[in-house]
Structure 1
Amino acid sequence: MAGFFFDLSMRYRTLYIALLCIIVTGLASTQDRWRDLEVSRIQFEGNETFRDDALLDVMRVKESPAAFWKFLYTISEKLGDKPEYFDPVLYAQDCGRLATFYQDQGFFSARIDTLLKFDFGKKTVSISFLIHEGRRSLIDSIQHVGFEGLPSDLMEEIRSNALIEVGDPYVVDRVVSEQARLVSAFFNNGFADVRVERPTADRYLSTNNVKVTFGLDPGRRYVFGPISVKQDSAVTERVDDAVILRHLDFGPGDFYSQAKRADSERNLNRLGVFETSRIEPVIGVRSDSIKDIPMQVYVRPRPFQEMVPEIGVSDENNAFNILLGLAYNNRNLFGGAQNLQARLQLQLQSIQDVEFGRVFNRTGLRDSSVIGNAELSLQINQPYFFNNKTSFTPSVSFIVEKRHKYYFNPILRGRFGVTSQTARYTTAFIEWSLERIGYESINPTIGGIYFDSLSIDRRPQLNSILSVTLQRDKRNDLFYPTSGFMHSVTVEEAGLIPSVFGGLFGSDLPYSKYLKIAGRGQWYWDPTQNEASIWAFRLYGGVAELYGHSPAPVPITRRFYGGGSGSVRGWKARELAVSKLPLEGGNAVLEGSIENRWNVLRSAGRLGFVEFNRFSFVFFFDFGNVWTRAREFKASEIAMASGLGLRYATVAGPIRIDFGFRVYDPAEAEGRQWIMEKKFWKETLGNFVLHFGIGHSF
């Protein structure tokens, strides 16, 4: 057997050194001439396993950019890209880098031939690589040395979550990741002094496959010792030490775990009462006579009470909203890190559509272009509810919501919510709401005609609504995800409690009896592995059905709506439905989106105050619709839209602008539904929809 790991084989090393010597010696006398040769093209042949861009990332010699980018570079180095010139030394080194790359991927027999084509007239050189990959080595066996006598729970963790298995292709990076996983497992099970040996990979010449060996010396097993709390003496606020200690995921005598330390810090930060929190061992050196590790929790409390003016934006209801508000916070109401918040907030939706001239001169807030709400709310958050992973939040709010040109909805809502982190990436939400909703006409005469002509039930409702949501979120970043997924499902029921008890609190107001289920999935993929082009996918569906001779329809606040910046972007918010009244919503929805997010300017610089590397572009395709009832669903009624978007990255997520146009409009007459059946400039692009938002659309 011959041992291989990380280094070039002798054959590749000899070729690399010989090539380097030949090129450097032969070209040294004409070094200035070579500097004038632009690299016009780099191409690969025979690379069946790896894409060209993956091999280009390995190299330091780069292909010269297109003439347009070179022209911009002459204007400003921050705008374009500089020409790339041939460097014989880097070229020779790149041959070695490619050979090493293939060996690290398990292609020990790979052979790389090169061809240089010079055009001294045009002062260019093209580089070709002909790759003979050969047979890829697989993992023949995996051996663990020093793992004897380990606790059964640790061995089970090691076996059940392995990143490499027998039969997998041999890849150095995966072996390194597996070693890091093993070390982490030891750290999180009390073995704080684990000693790591370099993994070895031995190749069998008879089969060309590899035996991988991991060697670890676990050392002594430690437990958490006494835990002390230190609060910053520079601030006057104090939180009871007992409150801090109960939000830790470990206690004295538990096996030492780096993961529990990190999770405990996150628990303290989620309370919102600390500016900073840190958990550290009191001692840094351990010996055979010491088996416990004393810990210290350091925190700096924030001011407990504050009055905060609010100015902001959001994309609630799939529209761009301007927010103005005033909030009072008490972060330690009863001494247990309970958070009391009282808030008055005004929200103006789709400000780009407001007819301000008409509003200020004649109509005021009654104008049909003014959409928004005003909310006065009070809530208390109890962060420790049975355990430190569960919180309880009761709230009461009064909302005046205007989403329609003929009426507005006064809403009085009481809510009791429980949030629990059931697993590392999984959160459960349980919510019970008591909600009174009314319909008030902006103009009684016109509003009455509207309700009567369309047979809309405008009676006030008093509903009892219970919902349960389970969400699993494994996105790698909250604001800028490039991999992972987010799944959620919500089940909602209304009407059971009043139907059992004969109403709510003696009220004779009608109530709705319905069952509702909705599911959402979001997936992210970066095929370039360098965030140059990211694909994002979204699928959303739901249905609500009345049951048991419901005295009232599904309340307007619980229906589905289509169109807007987070929906099908060829329509404005709440303008899409298989109905003459899309603003009234529907009881069934199916939507989806595909986005390609291009970060083509990620290497650009700054020009004045503009940072071009913060800009990115998006191509999107959306489909979906809303139906009055699920049984009315027709595939031919699924609307489609497409368009382009611009993003500007900020610390709170990207600022978003999308230009959407309709590809297929099922509401149009037959023969005018598809984009190719209309005048492109006048009807399609002339009727595009502009959306603003904060954060990616999903």
Structure 2
Amino acid sequence: MIRPGDLTLLAAALIAVPGQAQTAAAPVEMRAPGAPATDPELLRPLTPLADFTVEPVAPPTASDGKPVVIHYDVSVAGIAATGVGDQFDALSTLRENGRKSESMAQVAIRADEDVKLLEKLLRADGYFDAQADSAITPVPGDAARLKVVLTATPGERYRLTTITLTGPATVPPLLARSAFKLQPGAPIVAIDIESAEANIKLRLPEQGYPFVTLGQRDIVLDDVTHGGDYTLPVAPGVRSRFAGIRLEGDPVLPPAHVAVIARFKPGELYDNRKVDDLRRALVATSLYSSVSIEPVPPADSAVDSDGTAPVDLLVKGGRGPRRTLSGSAGYATGEGVKLQGSYINRNRFPPEGALEYDVIAGNQLQSLGASFRRSNAGQRDRSFQASLTAANQDFAAYNAKTVTLAASLARLSTPIWQKRWTWSAGLELTASREHDFDESRSTSDARLYGIVAVPLQLGFDSSDNLLDPTRGFRVTIRNSPELSYQSTVFGYDRSQIEGTAYRRVGKNIVLAARLRTAEIVGASTAEIAPTRRIYAGGGGSVRGFGYQELGPKDATNAPIGGRSSVEFGTEVRYRFGNFGVVPFLDGGQVYDASLPKLTGLRYGAGIGGRYYTNFGPLRFDVATPLGRKPGESPVSVYISIGQAF
């Protein structure tokens, strides 16, 4: 054994004498004065490799001679305080193979890979001195099981000592440094460094610098202080203002209409958020198969005296399918089966002038309609629509044949583009032939009605999803002053207020509630056309009852509608994967008075199933009336798309 301080030199010398054959000299021992003599065994020549006999270790075999599957246990020591355990578990080669192998050599290869992985993860997390090794040992008494132990020595974690961003100044100053969220003292973690750099490329284009570029980072580590000096060159590029719109490829929409959709005006400071908003708005038109928008670098001579330059936006997009043929089917107790189909040409009258035909075929409702809609009509998110519809409605409350000509100007939500504030204002002209009831409500007669209505609507929506909300609330106010002509002309006013609220409880449960009131003032129930009266009951109202089933009834127990109503409902929406279960309780009533009361309320309870798709949940509800009366169905079924409210 060589102790510290000993100096032992072993050498073999060859002495060459001119003109004579060379002979091997005896080994010469050289040591410091007073040093102990060297062990003679150390001077013995090594055995030639060719004389070794290597016998490979045979893997364990079963009694039938087939190789035994080797199982192994894996444990990792030394990383509990580092935070890389979850990453290692997800990427481990040893663990991704079910902890079994066909040979011990394969286990060793996997262990070596995981050693490299451990060191890589630790260094990416700021432990630049990290080392790891592995040990594989048999489990006593079990020849087909091994124990693999990985041991890591992370060392000290390195932290940022200084942060220096170089490059031209910005307006306002230090934009890049404020976007680089890390501060001295923060651990040098690879993903944090990359995220901070990406934030520069995200934030500067929002502040007028669309052409920012980053140079090569430099981090100088000090293994004594365990600190690092970080340097990053930042070239912000020219400060820019919005200018014009350019098109490349198929000009789906003209530049002037694209400018209408944009939420910025020429001359405004460049903001990449508004560019992304424009891209999403163009996608929402459904006229594009794909859309990209890029700022066009200006010429050096275009820079103005204030240091900014006008920048055009280059819109590239492919034309999407202009025509769509679609259909849907539904069923509800009291409404029966309803099949609906539509054909739409989205750009029949450019720009964004859509022509749509709709047909409904049901055992209680048949209709045919045509409509024209101009989207983004002179202003972003504003639409103009005109329609002509003929319908035959044969419900328990009335039988009506109607023709309606309507026009409206609106700002409404869509499944793609949900808005917080919505509104609409319109005009409706309706001619109808409807069955009405005399004052005794014992006989029925067909009457002709001419109705002029001015429907108005204002809505506020803070929910997180149009078809499947989980938080927030909605409030919608509707009002429709109307003139009705029979033998004389008289007026009345129809109004409705509805509020819904949603709250997530835990991970998979959403509580939902709804309250709705409606009133008609200015005319008696008998004067108002049956199709304009207020009804309740059905899948979008009080479930457990048939469509329009609640409220006053005639001598034959058929509903005749009323002038006011109150409705409410609660749901507990439990979701698991793509499925859901929804127990619910609804209540409400229709009154002949012009103001709603809280007397004679009827309740319905039930349970529903949900299947969640990428466009919204499919709904299947089954409900029963509480305190069922003669003539009321014991069970009602509702099938549709979207939640009940």
Same-fold call, TM > 0.5?
yes
CA gap 1:298/1:183 in 2 versus in 1, 3 angstroms = closer
Matched, 1:347 2:347: no
1:572 is displaced (CA, Å) by 1.7
Q: 1:576 aligns with which of 530, 533, 550?
A: 550
2:525–2:563 Cα contact (<8 Å) kept: no
The equivalent residue for 1:402 is 394
Q: 2:379 aligns with which of 383, 387, 406?
A: 387
> Aligned to 1:534, what secondary structure does the other structure show?
strand
Q: Map 1:257-276 onto structure 2 (within 5 A).
A: 257-276=271-290
Residue-by-residue CA offset, 1:553-587 (whole Å, 9 max, x unaligned): 23333322211122221212211124445632222
Residue-by-residue CA offset, 1:19-52 (whole Å, 9 max, x unaligned): xxxxxxxxxxxx98x9xxxxxxxxxxxxxxxxxx
CA gap 1:479/1:150 in 2 versus in 1, 3 angstroms = same
In structure 2, distance between residues paired with 1:557 and 1:246: 40
CA gap 1:636/1:436 in 2 versus in 1, 3 angstroms = same
> Aligned to 1:252, what secondary structure does the other structure show?
coil
1:227–1:252 Cα contact (<8 Å) kept: no
1:277 is displaced (CA, Å) by 3.0
Q: Which amino acid aligns with 2:429?
A: L
CA gap 1:584/1:230 in 2 versus in 1, 3 angstroms = farther
CA gap 1:615/1:465 in 2 versus in 1, 3 angstroms = same
Q: Map 1:144-159 onto structure 2 (within 5 A).
A: none
Q: 1:617 aligns with which of 581, 596, 605?
A: 581
Q: 1:517 aligns with which of 477, 495, 498?
A: 495
The equivalent residue for 1:66 is none
1:184 is displaced (CA, Å) by 8.9
After TM superposition, the structure 1 stretch with the greater mean CA deviation from structure 2, 332-341 or 468-477, is 332-341
Q: Which amino acid aligns with 2:318?
A: R
In structure 2, distance between residues paired with 1:619 and 1:227: 52
Q: 1:647 aligns with which of 592, 610, 622?
A: 610
> Aligned to 1:687, what secondary structure does the other structure show?
coil
* Greater Rg over alpha carbons, structure: 2
Q: Which amino acid aligns with 2:315?
A: V
Q: 1:588 aligns with which of 555, 564, 577?
A: 564
Q: Map 1:7-26 onto structure 2 (within 5 A).
A: none
In structure 2, distance between residues paired with 1:486 and 1:182: 37
The equivalent residue for 1:132 is none
TM-score (norm 1): 0.54
CA gap 1:629/1:316 in 2 versus in 1, 3 angstroms = farther
Residue-by-residue CA offset, 1:456-495 (whole Å, 9 max, x unaligned): 5642111110011011222212222111222111111002
In structure 2, distance between residues paired with 1:252 and 1:559: 51
In structure 2, distance between residues paired with 1:509 and 1:262: 58
Q: Map 1:652-667 onto structure 2 (within 5 A).
A: 652-664=615-627
1:510–1:551 Cα contact (<8 Å) kept: no
1:218 is displaced (CA, Å) by 11
Which segments of 5 or more consecutive residues in structure 2 lack a partner in the other structure? 1-71, 76-84, 87-169, 174-197, 214-234
Q: Map 1:473-512 onto structure 2 (within 5 A).
A: 473-495=461-483, 510-511=488-489
> Aligned to 1:557, what secondary structure does the other structure show?
helix
1:258 is displaced (CA, Å) by 3.2
In structure 1, distance between residues paired with 2:333 and 2:430: 19
The equivalent residue for 2:504 is 526
Which segments of 5 or more consecutive residues in structure 1 lack a partner in the other structure? 1-30, 35-58, 61-147, 152-179, 196-216, 349-369, 441-446, 603-612, 669-682
In structure 2, distance between residues paired with 1:639 and 1:194: 65
1:546–1:553 Cα contact (<8 Å) kept: no
CA gap 1:264/1:583 in 2 versus in 1, 3 angstroms = farther
Q: Map 1:245-256 onto structure 2 (within 5 A).
A: 245-256=259-270
In structure 2, distance between residues paired with 1:597 and 1:659: 15
Q: 1:560 aligns with which of 526, 534, 546?
A: 534
In structure 2, distance between residues paired with 1:485 and 1:181: 33
The equivalent residue for 1:431 is 426
Q: Which amino acid aligns with 2:591?
A: W
Q: Map 1:184-583 onto structure 2 (within 5 A).
A: 188=206, 190=208, 222-232=240-250, 238-282=252-296, 291-304=309-322, 306=323, 308=325, 310-314=326-330, 321-325=337-341, 327=343, 329-343=344-358, 345-348=359-362, 370-371=363-364, 373-404=365-396, 408-420=399-411, 425-439=420-434, 454=442, 458-495=446-483, 510-511=488-489, 513-528=491-506, 530=507, 532-547=508-523, 553-580=527-554, 583=559
The equivalent residue for 1:110 is none
1:513–1:552 Cα contact (<8 Å) kept: no
In structure 1, distance between residues paired with 2:324 and 2:578: 33
> Aligned to 1:332, what secondary structure does the other structure show?
coil
2:208–2:241 Cα contact (<8 Å) kept: yes
| Structure with more strand by fraction | 2
In structure 1, distance between residues paired with 2:622 and 2:333: 18
1:462–1:511 Cα contact (<8 Å) kept: no
1:552 is displaced (CA, Å) by 7.1
In structure 1, distance between residues paired with 2:499 and 2:199: 28
CA gap 1:269/1:629 in 2 versus in 1, 3 angstroms = farther
In structure 1, distance between residues paired with 2:318 and 2:590: 50
**Percent of residue pairs identical:** 22
2:534–2:563 Cα contact (<8 Å) kept: yes
1:565–1:691 Cα contact (<8 Å) kept: yes
CA gap 1:421/1:439 in 2 versus in 1, 3 angstroms = closer
In structure 2, distance between residues paired with 1:551 and 1:562: 15
In structure 2, distance between residues paired with 1:663 and 1:316: 19
Q: May I ask how many residue pairs the two structures share in their alignment?
A: 432
Q: Which amino acid aligns with 1:312?
A: S
Matched, 1:635 2:598: yes
1:564–1:574 Cα contact (<8 Å) kept: yes
In structure 2, distance between residues paired with 1:582 and 1:275: 51
Residue-by-residue CA offset, 1:210-262 (whole Å, 9 max, x unaligned): xxxxxxx9998532244211234xxxx85434333332222432222233223
CA gap 1:400/1:419 in 2 versus in 1, 3 angstroms = same
In structure 1, distance between residues paired with 2:199 and 2:464: 18
After TM superposition, the structure 1 stretch with the greater mean CA deviation from structure 2, 567-576 or 411-420, is 567-576
> Aligned to 1:436, what secondary structure does the other structure show?
strand
In structure 2, distance between residues paired with 1:317 and 1:258: 51
1:320 is displaced (CA, Å) by 6.6
1:181 is displaced (CA, Å) by 13
1:697 is displaced (CA, Å) by 0.8
1:534 is displaced (CA, Å) by 0.9
Q: Map 1:110-121 onto structure 2 (within 5 A).
A: none
| Structure with more helix by fraction | 1
CA gap 1:424/1:398 in 2 versus in 1, 3 angstroms = closer
Task: Output the aligned Cα RMSD.
Answer: 4.5
CA gap 1:639/1:404 in 2 versus in 1, 3 angstroms = closer
In structure 1, distance between residues paired with 2:340 and 2:550: 28
> Aligned to 1:572, what secondary structure does the other structure show?
coil
1:429 is displaced (CA, Å) by 0.6
1:428–1:471 Cα contact (<8 Å) kept: yes
CA gap 1:264/1:307 in 2 versus in 1, 3 angstroms = closer
In structure 2, distance between residues paired with 1:656 and 1:587: 30
CA gap 1:471/1:319 in 2 versus in 1, 3 angstroms = farther
2:604–2:623 Cα contact (<8 Å) kept: yes
Q: Which one has more relative contact order, counting CA pairs under 8 Å at least 6 apart?
A: 1
In structure 1, distance between residues paired with 2:275 and 2:426: 31
TM-score (norm 2): 0.58
CA gap 1:551/1:541 in 2 versus in 1, 3 angstroms = closer
